[in-house]
Every structure is written in C-alpha cells, then in structure tokens.
Structure 1
Amino acid sequence: MKIIKFALLYAFIPVSIVAQETVKKDTTTTKPINLNTVIVTGQGTTDPVLTKVKTDLVKKVVQPKNVADLFNDFNGFSLIKRGNYAIDPSFRASQYEQLNILFDSGTKAMHACPNRMDPITTHVVPEDIERIEVIKGPYTVRYGATFGGVINLVTQKPSAMDNGFHGSISSGYETNGNALVSSLKLHQITDKYDVTATAGYRDFGNYEDGDGTEIPSAFRSLDYGLRLGYNIKDNQRIQAHWRQSYGRDVLHAGLPMDTDEDNSSILSLDYKISDVGDFIEEINAKAYYSYVDHIMSNARRPSSMMTEALSTIDATTAGGKVEFKMKPTEKWISYGGIDALLIARDGGRTRTVKRNMMGDLLPQPMVFQDKVWQDSYINDYGLFAENKYALSNKTILTAGVRYDLVISDIQDPEADFQELYTDLGQRDEHNVSATVSMKHRLSGNNKLEIAYGRGVRSANMIERYINHFSVGQDPFEYVGNPNLDAEVNNQFEIGFKGRKAFTKGIDALRYSISGYYSLYENYIVAVVDPTLDRKFMPNAQPQEVKRFINIDDAYKTGFEAEAAIDFAKHFNFNAAMAYVYARNEDLDESLPLTPPLTTRLGFGFEKEKVWASLDYTITSRQDQISTSFREQETAGYETLDLRLGIKPYKNVQLGLAVLNVFDETYNNHLNFSFTNQADFGRVPINDPGRNFSVFAKFDF
C-alpha cells in the first residue's frame, strides 16, 4: 500500500521536462466551454507527437455501414472484415486490443462475442462521428494503456452552433445490397445548457461481388443517443451522454454463427473546470459504463442439421479518469492523473446434438452447456504523468511515464480448463510504459518529429480464458493461457511534414512522411500445441488445437507518405502510400494479419456548392504470410471510386457515388474466409462489386 500511495502522489509531481510555449488566456466572455473530447487541438505546443486527423467524413464515405468504414481510405489503415457488419480497423498491422480505440478521449465499449461480431465500431452510428484522431504509436500515456496507437472517435458537439433549435435529417440508398440508411439529429442550445438527440436506422441486404456471387451479409440496426450539457459557470461544464444500439439478424459470412440480437447501452459523464488557479489550470473528470447483451446462433447454417447452438453472452465495461493540467512555468505544462478500465464477461452456449457422427437421428437429442467466458474479468488501474517543456520557441520536448496495475481472474472455470491450469486464481500484473519525443520547427512551415514509446499491453480475455472455441481466421480450436506475459512494443519513429505556398495558380502543397521500427517483447501468438486434443466435433479437421503463447523474437517496420496539392483555386490532387513489414522470427514467418503495400491516388474538385472526387486505390499482392495462421497469399487489385456532391440550396446536400466503378472481383488480405456456409468453401470473402449510392441531407 505504501508503494501505491507514493505512486498516487508522484503522478501529480512533474517528473520530466516537456513542452509548452506561452499560452495567452482568452479574457472575453465565453459560451459553453468545450470538454476535452479532442486530443489534437491544432496547437503544436499541446498536441501529442506524430498525430493525424481525418475530417470531412461525409464526403468520403457516402453510406458507411458502421464506424469502421470511415477508416477505409485513411492512410495506414486496413479493415478486418468478417462480413458487412463485424469490421475492425487495423493500423500498421496492429489490431483489436493492440489499438487503444475510444470515444471522446476516454469512453470505451468492449465486445461480448468471442468472435468479435460486435466490435466497438458497431456501438455508435457513423453519422455521429465528427472527426477521427490518431496517435501513431505509444507516444502518450494520458489515455490508458497503449500498445500500437490511440484512435479517438470524436462525436459531434453543438458548441459551434448558434443558440436556438437546430437539426438535420439524412437518408441514403445503395443498389448493391438494397441498403437503406437514415439518421436524425436535433440540437437545443442556450447559454446555460444544450441538448442533443440522435437516431439512426440501417437495413442492409446481401451484396454481390464483381462476379455476381451473393455474399451473406445482411443486417439491421437501430441506434439512438441523448446528450445533455450544463454550464455551471463560465469555467465549469458537466455533461451526460446516453446511447443505445440494437443489431438484428446479422449475417457473418466469415464466422461460424450469426447474430440474432446485439444490444448495447453506454452512459458517460464528463466534468471540466478551467482557470482553477495559478498552478492548476484545468481539471477534467470522466466516468462511463457500457453493457452489451449478445445472442448468436447457427440456425441459418448447415451445421444446425447436426447440432443446434445458441449462445447468450454479456459484457460490461466501466471506467473513468481524473486528470490535472498544471503549469509550473510559462514554458512548462504538466499532466497528471489516474484512470481505470474494468472489463467483465460471462455467458454460455447451449448445444443440442440431434444426430450422431454417422448422420443418424438420435432417439432423444442430447443437450450440453458450454461456458464461453467462464465468468472472467480484467481490471486495469492506471497512474500517469506527462510533461511538456519548450526548450526554445522552435523545439518542444515531451516525456511521460505510466504505471498500470492489471488484476484478472476467472471465477467459473470449466472443469477441463481448471485441469489444464491447476493454479487458477487472481493474478496481479505491474506494467510500466514510458515515452519521450521531440518536435522541432524547421524553416518555413516544416516540422521534424522524433519519438520513442514503450507501450505495454496485458493479454486480453480471449488470449487468457477462451476454452476450445474457434476465434481466429483459421478453423482451429483455441485455448487461452492465463499465465501470458504482457506484450511490449518498443517503437521508434521519425516524421517530417510541411506545407509550401506557391503562386501562378497553385495554392499550396502539403506533404508528410514517417518511418517507424517496433521491437516486440513477449509478443502473443497462438501456435499448435500437440498436447491438446480437439474438444468439440472431435472428428472435424483440423485435429490440432492452438494455445496462446509468448514469443521472444518479433519486430515490425514500415512507413507512410502523403502529399496533396491545391491548384487553380478549386482543384486538388493527393497521393498516399503505406507499407508495413512484420516478422515472427521464432517461427520464421510473417506476423498474421499484415496488410500489403497500398497506394492511393485522388483527384478532386471543390466549390462552395459542388464537389467531386475520383479515388484510385492500388493494393499490391501479399505473399508475406503466416502459415501457422493458415493465411493464404492474396493477389493485388485496383479499384476506382467516383463521388459527387451538390448543395442546391443553403441547407440541402445531395450526394452520388459509384464505388468499384470497374466491377472488380477482389478480396482484401485481411478478410476472413467463409465459415460454415452451405454454398462456399473455406475461401476469403470477396468485397462488393459495383455499387451505386445516393445520399441526401437537410439541415434546419
């Protein structure tokens, strides 16, 4: 306890020199103050190093299926696709809990399904996302334990609107899949309070690939949210946000079962007080709670003829944060605080066996109960300090340290899991993360950024406690390992970005490039364990079983480059490229789920009332694969998308898109393969063929 008390005190004492130029306070009368829901504020003295922001989301994605679709053309990102609904973003070959994905700088909602039928990107409507902020590596300690980077999904705020009643209604339709999307937003804003209500409905059918093959991918979802903000004083604000999401009849082509129901609820509370005193400038506090109730079955699958399976599972995620912003001197800003992330899951699967292994009907069906999560929890309590110091008017140094106490336990283990691990019980882990970085403004508008981050991630619940379930891209049964060591990412990165203004009709050139190298410790992978036998459907292939282990020797390296030029007042051209090379030296193969080299070229035209874009994507062949993960080499492909937008009246926006113009038949390397489908072998899921999309929005 003495050590913990000392650490709590230590978090609020500046421990390293890090950066801030003189910041002038706004002395004018303020409207509702903004909570710290954004990470990247546009101020070089306070923004984390090596960040990128994506805005103008509506123009890029006319009909997003869920939030993950917003990453589709974000340089450095790829999508892990199991169908049309269960889509996860992957950044630089990091995915799942390796990425710290959060809403509004802190709120989280973890999936209930072990196959990730309900990732965090399904619990908020994409129309509610205003911008996406990315910290490219473990270069900050303020937003929870971070291994591969931070992704902050910022929801739309009413603060930029005038007082009064505002709203918008939008709707869209896609031909490929007969998809219908609609959403409604309402805002009531005064100087003292503001209220925002949102609602959205999606109904997607099965789409067809470029060859006209129908892919089982239909789903329906209904979402709504309510946000209440109250300005206690000019320098104090409190806000409550409630949202619920309902998924129904979701088909997952790449998973063994489908979602019958997925119901999620998220409540978050935020408080901020600024101008506290001469030393403490600001105090921010957040608390949140989410609950996911998930029901899935194989009723639509061929395996139901032999065995019916129905799983009812739930997940709770709770957490919070208190952070102090301090200013010891004009050149020094210090952040210190505590946070918590509490994850618990439970639920089981009911199997009704109707036929024997020969296919003959049993005189009386046999019913079995399987424990999916075995009533497990993982609690992470964090303590952090991060400091910024201006070495000069051109150079800013940032350094931070973080301590995480991770407590995990399995409270209702299956008998065979308890037999495999006889020492089950509460486990405590002590993780230390750290970062140091520097920003230096070169001549003109050029900037050099250098960073090192040590990001530490304890094993997730699947890696610890899953018990003979198929949860990977391959058909193996997986068994967890509660004794796994925490993964460590030692990431080094250097980046250069700038802007140059021209004359003679060319307005501006923007460019950036960054290269990185990650040296991994205790990297977690699943490998075949010859001591384990298949538990369910014992005669099915493969007979082997995988168990999660730590490996000693793994690394990752890569780069991203972007350039954009505005010319002739209304035209622009952009190019982007991303490449990552990840290696598992222990098994002499690539790390799994490593995306191929991707190049994007775009040409655009934009005026006040009309805009257009032509986007050409070249995805290279991927032959660097993980054979132990049963990955297959994938061919390269090229796609062309055309988007048009018009604003015929002040408050009306219309959009038209033709996606995959040439009706290309292709599949991304990260797509899962068909599983337990009547008309498909175990081959990767193809992406949609040509698709026409229309969109309309009315503001009032």
Structure 2
Amino acid sequence: MKLKHIAIICALFPIALLGQENKEKKNDTLTTKPIKLSTVIITGQTNTDPVMTSVKTEIAKKIVQPRNVADLFKDLNGFSLIKRGNYAIDPSFRASQYEQLNIQFDGGTKVMHACPNRMDPITTHVIPEEIEKIEVIKGPYSVRYGATFAGIINLVTQKTYLAEKGLHGSVNSGYESNGNSSVSMLKLQQVSSKFDITGNFGFRDFGNYKDGDETEIPSSFRSIDYGLKVGYDLSDNQRLQAGWRQSFGRDVLHAGLPMDTDEDNSSILSLDYRFTNSDGLLKEINAKSYYSYVDHIMSNTNRPSFRMTEAISTIDAATFGGKIEFKLIPSDKLTIYSGVDAFLVARDGLRTRLVKRNMMGEPLDNPMSFDDKVWQDSYINDYGVFTEGKYAISNKTLLTAGIRYDLIASNIQDPEADFNILYPDLGKRTENNISVTSSVKYIPTSNFMIEFAYGRGVRSANMIERYINHFTVGQDPYEYVGNPFLDAEVNNQFEIGIKGKWDIKHSFINTFKYGISTYYSIYENYIVPVIDPTLERKFMPNAQPQEVKRFVNTDESYKTGFEVLAKIGFLQDFSFKTELSYAYTQNKDLNESLPLTPPLVTRLDLGFEKERFWVNVNYTLTAKQEEIATSFREQETKGYTTLDIRLGVKPIESITIGVAALNVFDVTYNNHLNFSFKNQAGFERVPINDPGRNFSAFVQYRF
C-alpha cells in the first residue's frame, strides 16, 4: 500500500526536468529573480484572488506564546476553538469543523490524525513559529485546492528563497506563568542565487494550567519538532523544493478525552515544483506531492478506569497526496486553471484491553485480554479533476466559475466480526461527487469591492463516520457505530460580501476600513449520529448511557450567519477595530441546532504601533449560547468577557521582546465548544474551563 502511493511522489519528479533544455546563460548571474512557488492561495491581487477571502498576518504580534497552530485562530473573525485540553485543539469556522474544513499548509500538504478522538489534528504537526500567515476562503468557492465542503484554510510557512543572500537565523525563547511553561526554537537558513536551505528545531514544555478559580486542569504536554527545507532554482523559470518535518509529542494529558497520549510521532515529506512561461498559451505548471505518517500511542494509565481495565492503543495513519495544475491564458480576459489531484488516507491499529476486575469490582484470578480493531484496516482515496476559469467581463467586473469531479474509493479490509454481521455487504465502494462554484467580483474603485458567490461543496463521509465500531469519539459519552453506506454531504452556500476603505484627510482620523459578509447554507444529506435502538452497548455494558449512536444522513439542515469588521486609524499610529461573528444552525430532522455551534462573539481591539514599539489591547465579549444540540447532551453556556494586553519592543534591529497579560481579570469561563471532562479523577462531567490569568514573555534574536 505504502509503496504504491510513494510512487505518486516519485512520478511527479520528472516534471522538474521540463524545459531544462531552454536554460539560457543569463540565468547564471546573481541577479536572477526568485521564483515563487504556488504555495499561497491569496496573492494580494484583488482582481485575481478568490472571492470571500481573509488573511491573517503579523502573527508574532498577536500570539506571544502559541501552544500550537490552533492558537493562531483564536482572534480570527468567524473562528472558534474546539478544545479537549491544552494540546488537541481544532479550529471551527462558522460552525463547521473537522473534515468539513479543507485544512492544509503551503497550498496543499495535509496530515491526517491517527487517533479517532482527534488527539493529533493537523494543528499539532506544524511549528506555529513557522507560520507566516493564514489564508481563508470562506466557503466552497474554489475547486482548485481539493474537495471542499465549508471552507479552505491554508497555513503558509515562511519563504526562505525570498530572504537576502547569505546566512540567516533566529533564536526564540518564551515563558508562560500559568502552567510554568516554556518554548524554545532555533532556525538557520542559507540563501544563495540558486540554492537555499532552512532548518529549524523547536521544544515545547507546557504544564497543567489553572482556571480563574485556581482549579488545576490536567493539560500538560511536551513536544519536539524539527524541519528541513531545501530549494533549488533549476533555471530562471523553474524551481524545485523539498521539505521534511518531524514532530514528537510526549506525555500529553487530554482532560476532555477518555485516554491520554503516551507518544505521537509524525513525519511529513513534500516536494514542490513550478515552471513559468512568458510566451504561449501555457503560462504555468505547478506540481506538488507529499507523504505523511502518524504513529500514535495512547493509554488510560493515569485514569480511574485503569483500576478495572488497562487499555493501550497503538494506531497509525498514512496520508498521500499530489497535484498537477496548468495555468492557461487564451486571451487577455480569460485565465483557466485545470488539473488533477489525489488525497489518499489509510489507517489501522489495535486497542489492547486487560480486564483485571469483574463488574462487581472484584479482582479476577486470571485477567482477560482483548484486542479491539480501531480502524479495521480502512482507507479512503479521493482522485479529483478540476477546471476553474476567471473571465474579466470588464475592467471592474470579474466572473469566476469552476467545476470539480471527485472519484472516492473506500474499503474496510479487516472488519470486526460484529461489524461484518451488521453490514454483510462490506467491500470496496466508489462514489462520484460533482462540485461547482460561480462568483462575481465587482470593483468600481480601488477602495470598494462587492462580491456575490455560490458554491456547491460535496464531502463524502470520513473514516470515523464510515468505520468506527463502538468507540466513544464524540463530545458526549455514547458509543458510536459507523455506516459504510452514507451518502455524501452537500453544502449549497450563498454569500454576499462588501469591503471598503476611506482615506480621510482629517487631523484625528486617517483611515476607515469596513467589511461585511452574510451567508446562507442549505445542507443535503447532513451526517449526524443518532441513537439506534437496535444496537446495544459493546464495551463496559453496565455503564451509562446504554444507548448506542449510529451515523445517518438527515434531510433538512441549514446554516446562516455573518461577519462584520470596522477599523479606524487615528493619530497616525493608533487603530481601533471592532469585529463581530455569528452563526445560526438548525437540524430540522432533530428539531435542534447542529452540534458545536458557537455563540455571538464581539472583539474590540485597540492598537498602537511604531517601528520599534507596539501595544495591543483586546477585549472579547462572548455571548451566552442557548441554541444547543440536546441530542449531544450539550448544555447552555454562560456569556463571558476577557481582556488581553500585549506589548512588544525592538531595542535594536536584531532583538524583539514581547510580553503579555492574558485574561487580565482572571475570569473563570469555558467556551461553548470545549469538551467535558471524561474519565478524569476529581472532576464531574462538566465542560473544561479555559486558563485564568496568565503572564507570558518571549525574546527573539535574529542574525
């Protein structure tokens, strides 16, 4: 299986030789212009970028001490965090999450979690200090970046080849008071006219934090990460780049999950190639291939259930992918992107249980051992073909339309006996999905833009929804059973967006920026787990709840909401920003909200920035959430407010110092999307509280 898919990576390599014979002698000079790889989605060109986009930059000034990449989404409008502890954190956007979001980095590389409880999402396998910006397409409004249901998130890492020639580097070190946590990172890079190499090494050691009531939350973890990136300009119009990353998580406590992570090891290999051509119909060829592997070990050694049953799971996930895209310009008004891609996921592993006591709590003379198949040796392969065109109706109006076809092949190769009895017709299954998008961008002036968009995003069921077999994998305590014959989810999303800017000639106010977008999604075949009275609890049969959930398709669900932005610049160096985000969801079949729907969030942000000094004050108001999914045992969540203050200074050009006071008023609160404590000594089944007051500091030296 692995050899088959690694061949995909090798197959893309010969493309790097394309056009090599046309290399000219002038390319040997030191003035060769750097070749930019197609690792970004949003280029800053308003008339060619996708519609309904947002970009987060200047990340270092906002997040002083990121635990992992998920922290970078904390203050991004429209986003919330799904928290199971201090490590396994997933971003949620507009009440969509997990595989509903197409999360990748550098234009296509992916890492899929091995743990069915998502102890190891993609946000844990990339160093946050590497991330230069976050790009977001807010819905299924592009078909170029893989199958997309509710939005595309691209984590863009720093570009070595754009740096100045010579040897560069940086050393970072940081400390966080709440949890006695520390972070360190070293980065080195060498850049020449044709060749560049970057290496980095990071270490994170986070302890258990305390909430506003001084209650200690089990949430400690350690991780070591390193990466190597090598690039070479084959000619003045060709670039080849290879990347290698590894991450090692150790002793990770997950307060909201039934087990903890003993080890989490991931490896990512990627290869990128770009060819550009100034003449003819074909302007660009962009190719990418990657392979990632996650080896995950989790156990209940430190949990109350260990007294009755020892449990350890050793599981793995392999992800393979690739893409070849051609950019053609038949005329001055028309640009066409067309290509093929692949996204292949395979998982396997066992949970070994040693039952030491009977149901009455009495020790067994001969403990009994059982092996449970977690993933049942399953795979899901997605092969896609796409075409997207941009047509300039006028110099002020751009029309974009695209169509995508995905062939999904899935199979379960080692099913448990009871799963085989439940589904006697198991075997390889193929699905055919069609996604389309159409949008109009109208730019009457350089300071105003209005966008209209429609997208039909299609998502086939993920591996949990298809093949999980009596495991507790949700935010509630039910056992879940998969359904291999689920129909694909469909999101018909409509959106209108307006962006504008006024340059004001006034002694007090300098600029005014604003933006608003509102959307409405009609869901078809929405996938949810519901109680199936024909199923009985398999593990710990006397535990509550006795009912078992099975994944099914529902007929009528929808989502609507909006985001608002208003920002003024005043007195040259000051700014004040207000952001609001709200999502409303409804599952008419169950007569309740969709699970994990965030409440209304309002952010007020006051900033002051000079070349060598900056201050940021952020006041966040989170409303109570009364719209809940009762079938998931969700509870209404109280509203709360938090105040964060950040300050940075560059005493000299090579040194940056930052300090922060987070949750200044030491508020005790929990976000509506936080999971509840599970199998945790000393805690009832209540939502996990977020950290109380926290002081943070970091220093960076560049050379």
Per the normalisation by structure 1, the TM-score is 0.96
Select the residue among 209, 212, 217 that pairs with 1:210.
Answer: 212
Q: Distance in 2 between matches of 1:484 and 1:510?
A: 45
Select the residue among 296, 299, 303 that pairs with 1:297.
Answer: 299
Number of residues of Structure 1 aligned to a counterpart in Structure 2: 673
CA gap of 1:549–1:288, structure 2 versus 1, over 3 A, is same
For 1:250-305, what per-residue CA distance to the aligned partner results, in whole angstroms no more than 9, with x for missing partners? Answer: 00000000000000000000000001641000000000000000000000000000
Partner of 1:431: 433
Partner of 1:369: 371
Deviation at 1:443, TM superposition (A): 4.1
Aligned partners of 2:293 and 2:319 also within 8 Å? yes
Q: Distance in 1 between matches of 2:306 and 2:32?
A: 62
Partner of 2:36: 34
Partner of 2:166: 164
Q: Distance in 2 between matches of 1:322 and 1:442?
A: 35
Select the residue among 87, 90, 96 that pairs with 2:89.
Answer: 87
Select the residue among 181, 201, 212 that pairs with 1:179.
Answer: 181
Partner of 1:620: 623
Deviation at 1:159, TM superposition (A): 2.9
| RMSD between aligned residues | 0.8
1:457-472 alignment, distance < 5 Å:
457-472=459-474
1:558-577 alignment, distance < 5 Å:
558-577=561-580
CA gap of 1:531–1:588, structure 2 versus 1, over 3 A, is same
Partner of 1:12: none
1:233-632 alignment, distance < 5 Å:
233-275=235-277, 277-443=279-445, 445-505=447-507, 506-632=509-635
Select the residue among 654, 657, 672 that pairs with 2:657.
Answer: 654
Select the residue among 61, 66, 72 that pairs with 1:70.
Answer: 72
Aligned partners of 2:161 and 2:231 also within 8 Å? no
Q: Distance in 2 between matches of 1:456 and 1:607?
A: 46
Select the residue among 144, 149, 152 that pairs with 2:151.
Answer: 149
Aligned partners of 2:31 and 2:193 also within 8 Å? no
Deviation at 1:574, TM superposition (A): 0.3
Structure 2 residue 693 is the aligned partner of structure 1 residue 693: no
Partner of 1:46: 48
For 1:432-472, what per-residue CA distance to the aligned partner results, in whole angstroms no more than 9, with x for missing partners? Answer: 00000010013451100000000000000000000000000
Per the normalisation by structure 2, the TM-score is 0.95
- One-letter amino acid matched to 1:560: E
Partner of 2:681: 678
Secondary structure in structure 2 of the residue aligned to 1:304: helix
Aligned partners of 2:183 and 2:202 also within 8 Å? yes
- One-letter amino acid matched to 2:414: D
Q: Distance in 1 between matches of 2:595 and 2:564?
A: 24
Q: Distance in 1 between matches of 2:344 and 2:67?
A: 29
Select the residue among 632, 636, 640 that pairs with 1:633.
Answer: 636
Deviation at 1:564, TM superposition (A): 1.0
Partner of 2:7: none
Aligned partners of 2:32 and 2:193 also within 8 Å? no
Q: Distance in 2 between matches of 1:76 and 1:227?
A: 32
Q: Distance in 2 between matches of 1:543 and 1:30?
A: 68
- One-letter amino acid matched to 2:618: D
Aligned partners of 2:459 and 2:490 also within 8 Å? yes
Q: Distance in 2 between matches of 1:204 and 1:49?
A: 39
Q: Distance in 2 between matches of 1:504 and 1:467?
A: 65
Partner of 1:25: none
Q: Distance in 2 between matches of 1:56 and 1:445?
A: 22
Partner of 1:19: none
Q: Distance in 1 between matches of 2:278 and 2:111?
A: 32
Q: Distance in 2 between matches of 1:681 and 1:277?
A: 68
- One-letter amino acid matched to 1:649: I
Deviation at 1:199, TM superposition (A): 1.1
Secondary structure in structure 2 of the residue aligned to 1:159: helix
- One-letter amino acid matched to 2:518: G
Q: Distance in 1 between matches of 2:451 and 2:649?
A: 39
Deviation at 1:127, TM superposition (A): 0.2
- One-letter amino acid matched to 1:240: A
Q: Distance in 2 between matches of 1:35 and 1:197?
A: 19
Q: Distance in 2 between matches of 1:437 and 1:279?
A: 24
Q: Distance in 2 between matches of 1:405 and 1:259?
A: 35
Q: Percent of counterpart pairs with the same letter? A: 70
Q: Distance in 1 between matches of 2:540 and 2:90?
A: 29
Q: Distance in 1 between matches of 2:91 and 2:442?
A: 31
Deviation at 1:504, TM superposition (A): 2.0
Q: Distance in 2 between matches of 1:324 and 1:29?
A: 27
Deviation at 1:160, TM superposition (A): 2.9
For 1:525-571, what per-residue CA distance to the aligned partner results, in whole angstroms no more than 9, with x for missing partners? Answer: 00000000000000000000000000000000000000111111110
Partner of 1:201: 203
Select the residue among 660, 666, 669 that pairs with 1:666.
Answer: 669
- One-letter amino acid matched to 2:639: G
